[in-house]
Homo-oligomer: A and B are copies of this chain.
């Protein structure tokens, strides 16, 4: 059977509408360039550069123009700092929840509810902080024995209800595609956006991380356009070659093409550093990186 015969036979058999696309929201998004895109920077709390204390850290962030803070885990460990962040005018933009050991997509069904409950707690904490984004990795390599399509099915069965819970918490479950060294399951922004599209819940979105994208995306701009309205968060970092996953500008990984994509979709959510810092004077290096990113942003014409 050649492929045109196959196509005709499946058409004749009525495959198609019955299997495909019925539950999907409007077909491929039509994007219009918008002028409102902004480069709003965030970094995780506590790690990117040294500080003497919380107040010193906050002052340094404000001096460098940071607008947002990303918290590790479910954010539960720093609930006492909410007022501190608010007083400083720094927005908690995201909780980097992670995978909870892959529990939600575990091969052991008895483990899944624990993962769901943990993710719900993170969503509630996001609500507490006013964070618009809970970063979720379905499973790092080795965290589930299930195979690609089985994981995907569990997500499609589970995420829509969790997405509605996220909506109630005024936040988003944001799927993070990683590189294959960390997670084969979800590697590309278009794939994560497609899962979000099929979930058909306003509470499910996708993230793009420049570090992972270096390895996995043939086009940064294409990836962000595929993210489109589902793109709720961006992670900043450079490429996989030494100095691996350090600050943007510490290797020759360009950001213009990706920033073109962000401008094209009118992205004005946060771009948060998730990387290390090469060099001894970390604060000086972060300042240089921010200047580099702002130059790349200005160069990104759409």
**Which residues of chain A have a CB within 8 Å of any CB of chain B?**
1-4, 6-7, 10-11, 15-17, 19-22, 24, 27-31, 44, 47, 72-73, 96-99, 101, 135, 137, 140, 147-149, 179-182, 184, 188-191, 193-194, 196-197, 213-228, 230, 239-242, 244-245, 253-254, 256-258, 261, 274, 276
Contacts and interface: CB of A to CB of B under 8 A. Distances in A.
Contacts of A20: 179-181, 215, 240
Contact of A16 (B28, B97, B226, B244): B244
A22 B17 CA distance: 42
Contacts of A194: 188, 216-218
A100 to B, nearest CB: 9
Contacts of A224: 222
Copies of this protein in the complex: 2
A228 B218 contact: yes
A218 B239 contact: no
A127 to B, nearest CB: 20
A292 to B, nearest CB: 16
30 contacts: A2-B96, A3-B99, A3-B135, A7-B245, A11-B244, A17-B240, A17-B241, A17-B242, A20-B181, A21-B215, A21-B240, A28-B223, A29-B219, A29-B257, A30-B256, A31-B219, A31-B221, A31-B257, A147-B147, A190-B190, A190-B217, A190-B218, A193-B219, A194-B217, A196-B218, A222-B222, A222-B226, A222-B227, A222-B228, A225-B261
